[in-house]
A = this chain, B = another copy of it.
Amino acid sequence: MSKVISALSVSVDGYITGRDPRPGHGLGDGGVLFDWYFTGTVPSSQFDGFKLSEASAEVFDFHAGRVGAVVAGRTTYEDSERFGGGSPHPNAKLVLLTHRPAEVSERQTLAGTIEDAIAKARELADGKDVGLMGGGVVNAALRAGLVDELVLHQVPVLLGHGRPFFQELPEHITLTLIDAVPAPGVTHLRYGVER
């Protein structure tokens, strides 16, 4: 069966945005968490315009290439200007998880619960994996026991402020390190989630 994965950039102190994230400024102020996407010399095979270090390109393209559909939450969706009616991932369809009414394009699918969102994404992914985009969605999926892999792109900074990654989790979810790949400006920590 296809897997459910999260691969987010996170500061060493656990933030996935800088201060005051908002529509049009999804990363907030002082955010440097995405710098490693653009400060290398190797073009991503998956995302146009991304220039990664050699080590990061291998990790990033591997995970981006696995994903056939993405589940995003409402906050990420609005802060990212609704992905222009498309998807945050150039080669993966979008399922939007939201509890409030939302206008979506015909290239976007709506779901009201994390279980429903992941089930719809699995269908759309057509055998490929499902990617979770945004802290709320990842936490909801962890609470529901639906995450297979957690990739932390750990950026070497203490941000001090921003949106915390992990929130309202149940006690004690055991992980297993799959690999740790140091790269310029980021360390890629790939964990399996014990189910």
Contacts and interface: CB of A to CB of B under 8 A. Distances in A.
Interface of A: 12-14, 19, 30, 32, 142, 150, 152, 154, 156-161, 165-166, 168-177, 179-180, 182, 187, 189, 191
A171 B14 contact: no
B142 A158 contact: yes
Contacts of A152: 12
A180 B30 CA distance: 26
A160 B156 contact: no
A173 B191 contact: no
Contact of A177 (B19, B166, B173, B187): B187
A30 B172 contact: yes
A176 B182 CA distance: 11
Contacts of A179: 182
Nearest to A29: B171
B177 A180 contact: no
Residue in A30, A32, A158, A191 with the greatest tally of chain B CB atoms within 10 Å: A158
A172 to B, nearest CB: 6
Given A14-B13, A182-B180, A189-B187, A169 B158 contact: yes
